Chain A
Amino acid sequence: MKLNRQFSRLLNGWMILSIGIVLLILFPNISILINFFTQETSNWDHIKTHILPLLIQNTSIIMIFTGFFTIMIGTSLAWLVSAYDFPFKRFFQWGLILPLAIPPYIAAYTYNGMLNYTGVIQTGLRNQFNIQVDQRYFDIMTLPGSIFIFTLFLYPYVYMITRAFLANQSAALIENAKMLGSNSFEIFFRVVMPISRGAIVGGVSLVLLEVLNDYGVVQYFGIPTFSTAIFQTWFGMGDLNAAIKLSATLMFIVFFILIVEKFLRGRKRYSYTAARVRPLTPIRLTGWRAWSVFAYAGIIFALAFLIPVIQLVDWMVLTYDKMIDPVFLSLIFNSLFVALAGAAMIVIFAVIVANFARTQQNWLSKASTRTIILGYSIPGAVIAVGIITVFIQIDELLFGIYEAIGLDPTLILSTSLFMLISAFVIRFLAVGFNAIESGFDKTGIKFSEASRTLGMSMTKTFFKVDVHLIKGAIFSGFILSFIEIMKELPLTLILRPFNFDTLSTKAFQYASDEQIHEASLPSIIIIVLSGIAIYFFHHVVEKEPD
């Protein structure tokens, strides 16, 4: 009786939709994971003895250092921008997110193109001053070099989330600390870092998942990591089973990160009870203090955005005349189309599951939220295989229907854009979901509960109350997913329909053929479009608590 009532309370539209979404994500992954339980192959023995130790070592080093540096840079910038006024601060507020617009693999090619023997720096020294330098000091294609690239182009995740938190939440605590006589360093390390723990951990876990999933940078730099090894065993040795075992090992690491994340965020829920929170009032810095803060933010901005973009523009000038044609315009349209459609679907799905999960705290909702992260944690190419398998099966099931409505019984879904966009949803749902979940976390459940008590249904409450409270979060989720899809590579490469190119497939095509100059134009356009998205994001979301 009790069980029955509990079940009927659960059973509503939100739950059914959520379960549907979770299944959508689960199916492709199951079709891959089933292979995990098959017998070990001889290749797996070989991998275990010869390459696995190195993979674990390299991957751990990259993750630890990238994690550390992104936390330091991201949090310190977030703090400076929130708590102080200094020259060009208004620009830096959003300018410091811009590095997110540059795909790390393009950054890697660009930095190497600048620093290597034929690059602008060494040629300048050689031709102007006749200085030959030791190559070792200019070699970025190393393990530390990859940490440099990942740090610079991924720190905005930490910066963004932490800053949003600090701007809205911390005024009272920080002002108290100040009154009690703490100096700014003490405040940063003893108040700011601990209270923004949740935000920092959320940001850095996104960074680490991006790092684990990266293929472009480590492959170009020749650093064996899990993602390169998965590709090599699957494609090189033709052994999907061994590749999946590697993926599964990687997934354990990911789950570990996610559990640690939940644990570190702790049981505390930071939600505010007042409808209005007092934002932090920035202190105006003057003199050398102002300019040194400016210099710090400026150097990071220059390294992570300005310099690589100038280099890319320089290369673009060399090649643009032979690149621009009507076909090129279609690339821009294609990229925008899949990114907008994908991001829209992601936020809709994410809102549904997040709302289900927070209103009904039970094993089912918990399982749903964990499943959503799955897509983000498995390398794109591996997901792609799962997705193709599932879509071909769906197509085969639908052959009868195709015939009934007068179409050829061939692969229709699995050769259409629908498959690609679904793939983006599966892959990046976690990105939108994280943003929206944290929006819900922040507002808490008090207002919705009040609305329910006053007699509105869950769905009505959602549209009348919740959407208004979290629209900033919905928007961030949309923009972040948009940017991710613009930059995405392996899924787009494998799953796109015939004659369908996007900016990122074009940029990659040139870069992988070692024609980095030709790759600059599509890269620049990716950066500009994502940059506009970031600007828009900042100006709409920033001004929201009005």
Chain B
Amino acid sequence: MKKQYVLFSIIAMMLLVLAACGGNNNEESQNNTDGSNTTGDDQGEINLYTGRHYETDQALYDQFTDETGIKVNVIKGKDDELIARLEREGKASKADLLITADAGRLYRAKTQELLQPVESDTLTNNIPEKYRDPENEWFGLTKRARIIAYHKERVNPDDIQSYEDLTKDAFQDKVLIRSSSNIYNQSLLASLIALNGEPDAKTWAEGVVDNMARDPKGGDRDQAIAVAAGEGDVAVMNTYYLGKMLNAEDEEQVKAAEQLGVIFPNQDSTGTHVNISGIGLTTSSPNKDNAILFMEFLTKEQAQEQFAKANYEYPVNPNVAVADLLESWGSFKEQDLNLSKLGEFNNEAIMIMNEIGWK
């Protein structure tokens, strides 16, 4: 009796799977033929690989589809994995666009010849020069500043005015920063190599490691929480994480974030480190015109406003106002650097971090 039951359930399950397989294949081939029919029409579609995972981005894609009738197909992944996939797919890739959350990654996609230049007045007008590739192969969409958060009661903000101050003896065992595998830290160090030269950057990194309150671990939010918890006094983090903490549903995150003050480092010298998330058109793009429309759409004021408000990022379009919270932190001087340098010096940055033992 039981034996039959087991056997029956196995067979039933296999049949179910087979049926589902068959069903899905049909559906898929239908989709394919649909796709090839509609590309010739005025609507069409674009295929997007993106390293940004925010819900608010999906809302923007939907808005684009509403306005233009162009469907946005999305694959989300990590920046590096998406680039690896593009590289493997080569000329046959169906992807039109690549969005990453770091300029260095776009630079790498460019050097691997995965991107092509786009000539568009809309893009060049909307995006300041330093946030796009010199050959127009990629364009910034949003900015994020890597700031220093300090404990309002335990730290006098006058003592911590620059990234270099993190290496001062006063902050022995007080500095919180995440691991060297984190791209934001790699890009921060790359920017310091570009601005101050490798020897200085290495000395700085050694100083940071000496002053670390603990072995690096966790994400940016964890660094901020560790400051609130008293494990250290200062944390290096991206602006939008602090914004999200202050607006979190979890009351305790809000309480922790409220204990922190924000410093935009190096205002009297080289400026605060800024990175972007940005977009590039792939070499193989099968829907080039639609893809460029989409790029332009994302840099226009309406979309930029939404980026800024929903995610506490800074818009790249200078005509768009920042979110109220960012406004309250004031404006600041940025590093004077074309962001492709972040990619150029990425490898050196990683090597330095490994050599000096930044875990």
B47→A117 contact, CB < 8 A: no
For A119, A141, A235, A396, the residue with the greatest tally of chain B CB atoms inside 10 Å of its CB is A235
Residues of A within 8 A of B (CB-CB), count? 80
Q: A385's contact among B24, B77, B84, B253, by CB below 8 Å, is which?
A: B84
A468 interface contact, C-beta 8 A? yes
CA distance A142 to B359 in the complex (A): 12
CA distance A509 to B75 in the complex (A): 12
A20 interface contact, C-beta 8 A? no
Known: A132-B230, A228-B181. A220 touches B14 (CB 8 A): no
A410→B229 contact, CB < 8 A: no
CA distance A5 to B253 in the complex (A): 74
A395→B92 contact, CB < 8 A: yes
CA distance A227 to B67 in the complex (A): 44
Q: Which residues of A contact B20 (CB under 8 A)?
A: 337, 340-341
A273 interface contact, C-beta 8 A? no
Q: Which residues of A contact B89 (CB under 8 A)?
A: 388, 392, 411, 414
The chain B residue with its CB closest to the CB of A510 is: B53
What is the interface of chain B mostly: helix, strand, loop, or mixed? helix
What is the interface of chain A mostly: helix, strand, loop, or mixed? helix
B132 interface contact, C-beta 8 A? no
The chain B residue with its CB closest to the CB of A396 is: B92
Q: Which residues of A contact B81 (CB under 8 A)?
A: 235, 381, 384, 490, 493-494
Known: A46-B351, A341-B21, A344-B13. A468 touches B84 (CB 8 A): no
Q: Which residues of A contact B14 (CB under 8 A)?
A: 344
B354→A408 contact, CB < 8 A: no
B219→A514 contact, CB < 8 A: yes
Stretch at the interface among A164-172, A252-260, A363-371, A538-546: A538-546
Chain B nearest Cβ from A491, distance in angstroms: 10
Q: B350's contact among A237, A337, A340, A472, by CB below 8 Å, is which?
A: A237
A116 interface contact, C-beta 8 A? yes
The chain A residue with its CB closest to the CB of B104 is: A236
A190 interface contact, C-beta 8 A? no
Stretch at the interface among B137-145, B220-228, B298-306, B330-338: B220-228
B84→A411 contact, CB < 8 A: no
A35 interface contact, C-beta 8 A? no
Known: A116-B229, A395-B92, A475-B10. A232 touches B32 (CB 8 A): no
A141→B21 contact, CB < 8 A: no
The chain B residue with its CB closest to the CB of A387 is: B88
Q: Which residues of A contact B93 (CB under 8 A)?
A: 411
B28 interface contact, C-beta 8 A? yes
Q: B354's contact among A46, A223, A472, by CB below 8 Å, is which?
A: A46
CA distance A126 to B43 in the complex (A): 58
CA distance A141 to B223 in the complex (A): 12
B225→A116 contact, CB < 8 A: yes
Chain A nearest Cβ from B26, distance in angstroms: 12
0/1 string, A385-402, CB within 8 A of B gives 1: 100110010011000000
B181→A231 contact, CB < 8 A: yes
CA distance A291 to B244 in the complex (A): 47
The chain B residue with its CB closest to the CB of A240 is: B84
Among residues 253 to 275 in chain A, which have CB atoms less than 8 Å away from a CB atom of chain B? none
Q: Which residues of B contact A112 (CB under 8 A)?
A: 218, 222
Q: Which residues of B contact A392 (CB under 8 A)?
A: 88-90, 92
The chain A residue with its CB closest to the CB of B9 is: A540
Known: A236-B186, A392-B89, A540-B6. A123 touches B252 (CB 8 A): yes
B310 interface contact, C-beta 8 A? no
CA distance A236 to B5 in the complex (A): 52
Q: Which residues of B contact A408 (CB under 8 A)?
A: 32, 36
0/1 string, B243-265, CB within 8 A of A gives 1: 01000011011011000000000
Chain A nearest Cβ from B217, distance in angstroms: 3
Known: A318-B249, A493-B77, A496-B75. A337 touches B222 (CB 8 A): no
A87 interface contact, C-beta 8 A? no
B222→A416 contact, CB < 8 A: no
The chain B residue with its CB closest to the CB of A505 is: B76
A464 interface contact, C-beta 8 A? no
19 cross-chain CB contacts under 8 A: A116-B229, A135-B229, A141-B222, A142-B217, A222-B181, A232-B350, A236-B80, A344-B13, A385-B88, A411-B92, A414-B89, A417-B28, A493-B77, A493-B78, A494-B84, A497-B75, A499-B73, A514-B222, A540-B5
The 8 closest A-B pairs by CB, nearest first: A235-B80, A222-B217, A117-B229, A118-B252, A498-B73, A141-B217, A388-B88, A509-B53
Q: Residues of A with Cβ closer than 8 Å to B?
A: 46-47, 50-51, 112, 116-119, 122-123, 132, 135, 139, 141-142, 219-224, 228, 231-232, 234-238, 318-319, 337, 340-341, 344, 381, 384-385, 388-389, 392, 395-396, 407-408, 410-412, 414-417, 468, 471-472, 474-475, 478, 490, 493-494, 496-501, 505, 509-510, 512-515, 517, 540, 543-544, 546
A222-B216, A231-B181 are known contacts; what are 4 more A-B pairs with Cβ within 8 Å?
A222-B215, A412-B32, A493-B78, A540-B5
